[in-house]
Amino acid sequence: MAKQRFGQVPLLVDTSNGRNLAQSAAILEYLADTVGKFGGSSLDERLQAREWLYWDFDRLAPSIYRSRGIRLGFRKGGPDVVEMYAGDCAAALAVLDRHLAGRTWIVGEGVTIADIDIYGVLGFAGEAGVDMAPFPQVAAWMQRMEALPGFRGPHDLLPQESVVAA
């Protein structure tokens, strides 16, 4: 709590200036600004990327994370709740699938924090029981993300000793 006022992950500690940042969108925006990459190549792209961040937190992430939690047993929910989240997820994925038609990336001609953020959620889709088959544009985009140099999946990024400690 001393470093992350919400008591949640993620937490970014910037040792160069002592700044502690919470919440994925704030962290992604900060990193894009700090490293000068992934923020978009223009003001319009920057704004669009941020719109997608907030869309994700509103429309996609809750259904994926909550369904995953129910399936893994650390969140309660019966069949009606699971069905509701599945419908919410399918509706969000349909929006993203339509948007990706004819595009390589979510915003502009290169990877932005929108791609990084949304992939970060969809990396858990399998554990949430989400069938990606009805969303071929999303599936193809995910493959492009996974082919990027230095790509690591969510389970590859968290040290196993951290998983055991949790």
Contact 24, 34 (CB under 8 A): no
Residues 121 and 104 in one domain: yes
Give the per-residue pLDDT at 89: 97
Residues 50 and 115 in one domain: yes
Residues 95 and 50 in one domain: yes
Which CATH number do you get for residue 70?
1.20.1050.10
Task: State the Cα angle at 127 between 78 and 1, rounded to 5°.
Answer: 85
Per-residue confidence in pLDDT tens, the chain, 166 aa:
777 788 888 889 999 998 989 889 999 999 999 999 999 999 999 999 999 999 999 999 999 999 999 999 999 998 999 999 999 999 999 999 999 999 999 999 999 999 999 999 999 999 999 999 999 999 999 999 999 999 988 888 776 665 454 4
- Structural domain range at position 23: 1-36
Domains held by the chain: number:
2
Give the per-residue pLDDT at 164: 52
Residues 80 and 22 in one domain: no
- Stated pTM of the model: 0.90
151 domain-assigned:
no
Residues 62 and 105 in one domain: yes
Residues 57 and 31 in one domain: no
Q: Phi and psi dihedrals of 13, rounded to 5? A: -110, 115
Residues 52 and 115 in one domain: yes
Contact 111, 119 (CB under 8 A): no
Give the per-residue pLDDT at 29: 94
Residues 92 and 28 in one domain: no
Residues 31 and 47 in one domain: no
Q: Is the peptide bond before 10 cis (omega within 30 degrees of 0)?
A: yes
Q: What is the DSSP string of 31-42?
A: HHHHHT-SS-SS
